Amino acid sequence: MLSCLLGLRQPKLDDETRAFFRDAQPWGFILFREACLSREQVRALCADLRATVGHDATVWIDQEGGRVARLKAPEWPVWPAAGKFGEIYAKNKEAGLEAAYLGYRLIADELRDIGIDGDFAPVLDVPVEGSDKIVGDRAFSADPKEVALLARAALEGMHDGGVAGCIKHMPGHGRATADSHLALPKVAAKKSILPTMSSHSPKWRTLKPQ
């Protein structure tokens, strides 16, 4: 039964890794920075991963733009962090939504071209005063309604580019007092004040890559 995602930190499969993947039969793969050297190399790696497991496995990556980018310059463009789209939105709402759509649409073009199906983006964290700075400009805004609007635009940009998006993080970094990469974070907020989808929020629909 295909049920898991397995990560890869090397640009080519060796015999041992190939045998492990063939036996594990994952649903898909996650490419880390060390696995991404060039367009041709990533394209070949994705094809090899699928051939190894014998099915059309999905391949995912963390390509938010800004600080979190597994595909690095000079081989790939430098995309803006989500916070940049929030800054544009603060000045002009229509321009901000269009910029978010186009920004993630361009990311999708790059990913699709090299055989990657899904992106662990956009970030829906809502930073609050006193929280750890791990989110920073990875967040679109400190306003949950603006985050929802911009994230939807980003998701639709990726969808139209043939790449699946994946919102993150749950329960989130925005209210945590520690970076979860370094320590166990705790969120003391009551459920009643945590952001929720309401009748005033944008209606979300399932987005599948074309």
Domains of the chain, earliest start first: 5-178 (3.20.20.300)
Tokens of 205: 């629909």
Other CB atoms within 10 Å distance of the CB of residue 67: 10
Decide the pairing of beta strands 118-119 and 58-61: parallel
pTM, rounded to two decimals: 0.84
Distance of alpha carbon 24 from its chain centroid, rounded? Answer: 24
Q: What is residue 208's predicted lDDT score, i.e. its pLDDT?
A: 41
Residue 3 to residues 88, 90, 128, Cα–Cα distance (Å): 40, 41, 35
Note the pLDDT tens digit of each residue in 31-75.
999 999 999 999 999 999 999 999 999 999 999 999 999 999 999
**Residue 2 — very low, low, confident or very high, per pLDDT cuts 50/70/90?**
low
